[in-house]
Structure 1
Amino acid sequence: MTESILSPKGNIEDALIKAFLLNHPKDAARKVETMQPAEAAELLSTQPTYVLQPVWKNLPPGVADNLLQHLPDTAIKDILTTMDSGLCAALLSRFEEPQREQFFALLDQNIVSELKELMEYPADSAGAMMETNITAFNENTTVADTLTLLRNQKIKDLNHLYLLTDDMYLSGRVPVQRLALAEGNEKLSTLAIPLVSYVTALDPKSEVMEKIEKLKLDTIPVVDGNDQFVGVIRGRNILDEIKNTLATEMLTMVGASKEEKALSTSWFAVKKRLPWLQINLVTAFLAAAVVGMFEETIAKYTALAILLPIAAGQSGNTGAQSLAVTMRGLTLREITIRHWPGVLKKEAGAALINGIAIAVTCGTGVYIWSSSLGLALIIALALISSMTIAAISGALVPIVLKKLGQDPALSSSIILTTITDIAGFMSFLGIATALSGMLAG
């Protein structure tokens, strides 16, 4: 039995390598950094994707880029498909367009569309100005290994090195002069100086310009919404960028833009807003029709009319909270439409717990006011139901609109208001009708 496990020798080596990669991904990543890209690719290409992913996300920019080019197409496809969308977009953005298109050809078109969207930034943002062809080093790497990495990556234009922690966050920088004078066994962390500042990819150009001028920086690092290093902005290029942006903004302020601005004409605003107001009017009639369906129940139990705004109001507030968080996530690229199951699960869970808490408070108040256990139970159940539906809707509406190519910011609130009103009215009046016997008691 023992003999079959230990033979052949290659199986033991493969098992040990797999165990090391899986159980010690950060240590494995540090080891991969010191290897030649072709050698590392040969070693890793035989491993399953679930073993590679923990190691891959701990590889700094530069190392991961070189390694990806030496892997077979099947391994590249598996890694890019299973990688976090933001990290994948950051990785591919560091390649020239022809190489990037070759990688895109290996992927599903839905994934490609998502990645291309993540790689595009607003014209007035730091992300639009940054250079994505970056290299970073783990702070625990030795000087000797760093010099080997620099030779492997054939980096020429370099004034200082950016350092990453084991969790892949920026920790400092090392001037090249210090590196050249250091002993081979010294770690980069001992040579590092603190980062003066950094910007996020969605920071406006004006803030970037202000920081570079104020702090007299030659370069400034850029991080994404998850604080991962994604690019650098060089001071020598930023003045031209700002001048071009200001010229463009002067043209758009006279109404040339397709999107409404604060100083657009009233007629321009009317053309943009009126269609949605008309749609809102139609949806308001839908909500009114729901109330009309229960006209007999309301006429028989007038207390329901008094409590009706509570159910609608709470569901509206819950939906608005969910909508705001989801819109922020989409805008800041914390999430994409592929994350919708996780977003819905989180919002539904939060709304259910909040709904129960609000239901207990409201039900107690209604019971004290009306002395009706049935009425208190009805409003409690309605709040739980309507708040949960509203939260799910608040998360789902902007995601669906974005998937359909519409502007979530413009129309989400109108659609959500309709859904939350209908959910609130339907839940409260529907439950009241179903439990009308308790009201009669």
Structure 2
Amino acid sequence: MVTTQDKLESAIAQLSDTFLSDYPLKSAQLLATLTPKEAARLLEEKPLYVVNRLWKFLPPGIAEVFFCAFRFDYQVEFICHLESHVAVGLLSKLDATSQQAVLAALSVAQPSIYAELSDLLVYPENTAARMMSCRVQAFYAETTVAEALRQLKRLKGQVADVVYVQNAEQVLIGELAITVLVGSAGKAALGSLATPIKARLNVMDHKDQVIETFEGLRCRALPVLDAQQQLVGQIRFFDVYQSTKEELVSDMQTMVGASKDEKALSSSWFAVKKRLPWLQINLLTAFAAAAVVGAFEGLIAQVTALAILLPVAAGQSGNAGAQALAVTMRGLTLREISTRHWYQVMLKEMFVGLMNGVAIAITCGVGVYLWSQSLGLSLVISLAMIASLVIAGCSGAIVPIALKKLGLDPAQSSSIVLTTITDIAGFMSFLGIALLLADMLPKG
């Protein structure tokens, strides 16, 4: 049996400095299998530039857990080597006491970094300012390529992929990819090489607006301006992708009643506290579905075959609803749709449910007939499949959109709500149609 110590020793043997630097994704995946204390102890022994390189490859949520497990002095030193938006993201996830302690240490060790991070932490959550990197460089239009390259070489740390060009009034007039800058003639003026800026973001723009802007433009980076229209940072496409990925992961958890705060390595007690309330709610909704079945108790007693087929009806409607829910949630998260598209989405899912229902009804009807030799039972299950899949598709589209329209998190346990609807719809349609066609059903 492989012990925790064996896993740690194996990870240490594999995660050499060269391996960490050359294969950051594989290294991050291997680190995620360790406990936070083990991973923190291993990373603290590595050069900071190596840890910084692989940090962005850590799965969502794991990075914060590892950071909290670092020694305090290492936390302070590591924060200084991160990009500003990443550092702010980590600090915002610390409790108030730990955050103030780190900032106090930074105010002594790195006053300039302390001032920058303190300013960014003032901005509300989910704004462009919290997503931007302050490592941005702008030049005047008259600056030559040779002079710009000389200035960039004097900068400490990583140079941004895009530099910006401004006029004498410090108004942005264009942008220039670093690859174009390096490949241009040394005497050329930046103003003659710059391309127009596709869009500008404001520090107070909401994260949703930032993502929508990138989705429409497909650009490498966008500048962020303050209230005085001065350049204060930039947001890269990679940063937006990371933010969207984390949101999708969080939605996957909340859809089934798990908390966004729960991580794979969270304690069992923390997981129980977050999950149990929704399980209790799910229990109540299950009794609601059971009450529907109870209303047809007499019919089921006469036609026992109905009890055998009940899980089939409920299961198919549940799967169809989950498919519609997943597609709708993806559209809302990636801003492909908004609440105003509810009617189009609902019609599409109803039509999909109808076509799938007909196909499933044929297959299911044939199977039930071969099993029961009852045309009436085959007809009941076939009609129930069509009805329940149409209702499930419609529900899967409407539930998350309705939650968002009400100002709630569209992912907040929408799966539990949907399960209740699909179970009741499946039972009601199956047993209701069976009651209408009771004379065609085999008794006993």
TM-score range, shorter chain: 0.3 to 0.5
